[in-house]
Chain A
Amino acid sequence: MNVKVFQFNGCNKCFHETILLKQNDMEVELISNPKDWKGEKIDVAVVSGYLLPEDKEILLNIQSNANKLIAYGDCTTTGGIFGLANQKGANITPISKIIPESFKINGCLAEIEELTATIKGGEVDKPPSLCKVCKRRSTCEYLDEVHRQIDIFENEEACFNDLGFLCNGYIATECKERCVDYGTQCRGCKPIIDRSGVRMLGMFGTLMGNVEVATEASKYGATDKLADKDDDMTESLPDIVGNFFRFSLPTSGLPKGRIHSKGSILENVFTGRLIEEFPLITGLLGGDNSISMTLSIIEAYEKGAEIEVNEQTKQYRQKLRSLEKELKNAIDAQDAEKYKDVTEKIRKIAGNMNLSNVFYGGFKTPIDGADNFDDYKAEPFEIKEGTYKNGIVEFSIDSKGVIKEIKIKEGA
């Protein structure tokens, strides 16, 4: 079967994941610059990367030449994490607005097994809800307060949401990355329902039933109404757009944001996000540089905020960096076997390809039973206002831990 994979804009992790299709006796060609593609008849076209309105012509050309068009990964199907730039006026478009009748495979990183099944045309089983396979159990009791960081080993049975640790697992299906297994909340990259972010907002608002909400007297009629001032509700969730609409802002039915653009698309995505979500976001969108980008951001903050890092952590980080180089070599050589081998090694240390296990001061869950986990365990840290710099990145956070400004040098 003749398969061509087209990479549009942004992160190329899903694009490189399709190298694994070569293991299935398919004739696969990866096209990293679809603008230069001349056009020929193909069986299956796979599209990855985020789309802009100006990509419409190229996409229609691909569609007219292909028997089947598959959108692979959240960036293409829903706008994905780059869709957060729409908060600052960008125009990232989900594929359904350009070609409504395409096949869609959600996920960040999208699963290669699902793509293989869709290409072959077989029935794809609908995966169960994430909560069904999660080892934690939810009671949906009202929360007294919301925590932005918790010690995940204190209670290993209760649902993150019951502990006041916002997890979007309610609206997600089971996936291969399984961030929840590595002490990181689900952010709903594989939604089980449409307008997932809006629904999760309603759900979490209900769960916050015992958190104090400010009311004031109405000047007409002497009854109460919702007050404008900040209260525990708004203080405890400083970044609603980034946490509830991480992958679905362009498809959620919300209007396009009117916040002034900060510059490049990456800067727009990062500004306004929270410091504790920062490593995961860079892990999600860094493409083949995600490991070095995530680690340099973590190290910048560790250095500035004086978070101790021990030798074992440094060793593991060094190993991750060398694995990133190996991964690049495997991609250059288009070697499916080697690619699989290296990604498995990365998954073993970092948890998954989104690096959920990597955090400030260490790792969230044990990597190898042979070491002493207490040595490299990541602890909840205190947020320290300031400007942090390391190599290609420079960012400043305010007292609540919201990223105010970020500069990423080009070519990173």
Chain B
Amino acid sequence: MSSCDINECEGKYDNIVVFMCNECGQGSANTAGVGRMPYDPSVRIVRVQCTGQIGPIQIMDALNNGADAVSCVGCCIGACHFFNGNLLSMRRIKLMKKMFKELGYSDQFINQYTSRAAEGETAVGDFEDIVERLCTAITEGGTFENEC
């Protein structure tokens, strides 16, 4: 473990790709916008129809093209608007996390979250968690490019 702490990771990342589903994910981001809730400016939202569309190929494309962290935000468990897309992408991301661990990287820079369309703070809370985890990954020296 290196000596730097989480505060030192500021400025070490500028691209966090977040795939948000068109229903609850994007809905909660809209609600957050209406409520003028601030969140980290590095977060780049990509709107997708359902997080079930996102798999290892899309995540690897994002990471190889300069993303520091990639996350999916979908509907709550059991509330997917397309039957079970959020659960499927959760499983794929879980396998990817295991794969990165096997390659000697941190598994903290990819993850999947859920949010509620009516509550903007769920989306903002997810973004805060993504940033916190990315900082953990950077301090542990386990991301693609950044390390302390």
Interface residues on A, range: 35 or more
- Tell me, yes or no, whether B50 is within 8 Å of chain A by CB: no
Task: Tell which of B77, B88, B99, B113 touches A241, judged by Cβ atoms closer than 8 Å.
Answer: B99
Chain A residues whose CB sits within 8 angstroms of the CB of B22 once the complex forms: none
A211 to B87, CA, bound (A): 10
Chain A residues whose CB sits within 8 angstroms of the CB of B92 once the complex forms: 201-202, 205-206
Which residue, A204, A244, A255, has most C-beta atoms of chain B within 10 A?
A: A255
Task: Tell which of A206, A241, A257 touches B91, judged by Cβ atoms closer than 8 Å.
Answer: A206
Whether the pair A233, B91 counts as a contact (CB closer than 8 A) is yes
- The distance from the CB of B78 to the nearest CB of chain A, in whole angstroms, is 10
Comparing A105-113, A114-122, A216-224, A389-397, the segment that makes contact with chain B is A216-224
Whether the pair B94, A225 counts as a contact (CB closer than 8 A) is no
- Tell me, yes or no, whether A87 is within 8 Å of chain B by CB: yes
Asked, given contacts A205-B92, A259-B104, whether A254 binds B115 with beta carbons under 8 Å apart, the answer is no
Can you list 17 pairs linking A and B with CB atoms under 8 Å apart? Answer: A195-B57, A201-B95, A202-B57, A205-B55, A206-B91, A206-B92, A213-B87, A218-B129, A219-B125, A220-B122, A220-B126, A224-B77, A226-B97, A233-B91, A240-B102, A244-B99, A254-B103
Q: How many A-B residue pairs have CB under 8 A?
A: 133
Number of interface residues of B (CB under 8 A): 41
Residues 53-108 of B contacting A (Cβ, < 8 Å):
55-57, 60, 64, 76-77, 84, 87-88, 90-99, 102-105, 107
- The distance from the CB of B90 to the nearest CB of chain A, in whole angstroms, is 5
- Tell me, yes or no, whether A67 is within 8 Å of chain B by CB: no
- Tell me, yes or no, whether A144 is within 8 Å of chain B by CB: no
Task: Tell which of A214, A233, A259 touches B95, judged by Cβ atoms closer than 8 Å.
Answer: A233
Asked, given contacts A218-B125, A221-B125, A222-B122, whether A258 binds B105 with beta carbons under 8 Å apart, the answer is yes
- Tell me, yes or no, whether A237 is within 8 Å of chain B by CB: yes
Whether the pair A213, B103 counts as a contact (CB closer than 8 A) is no
- Tell me, yes or no, whether B14 is within 8 Å of chain A by CB: no
- The distance from the CB of A51 to the nearest CB of chain B, in whole angstroms, is 21
Asked, given contacts A220-B125, A240-B102, A258-B105, whether A226 binds B64 with beta carbons under 8 Å apart, the answer is no
Residues 166-211 of A contacting B (Cβ, < 8 Å):
195, 198-199, 201-202, 204-206, 208-209, 211
Chain A residues whose CB sits within 8 angstroms of the CB of B116 once the complex forms: 223
- The distance from the CB of A6 to the nearest CB of chain B, in whole angstroms, is 31
Residues 239-272 of A contacting B (Cβ, < 8 Å):
239-241, 244, 253-255, 257-259, 272
- Tell me, yes or no, whether A57 is within 8 Å of chain B by CB: no
Whether the pair A211, B76 counts as a contact (CB closer than 8 A) is no
Whether the pair A198, B129 counts as a contact (CB closer than 8 A) is no
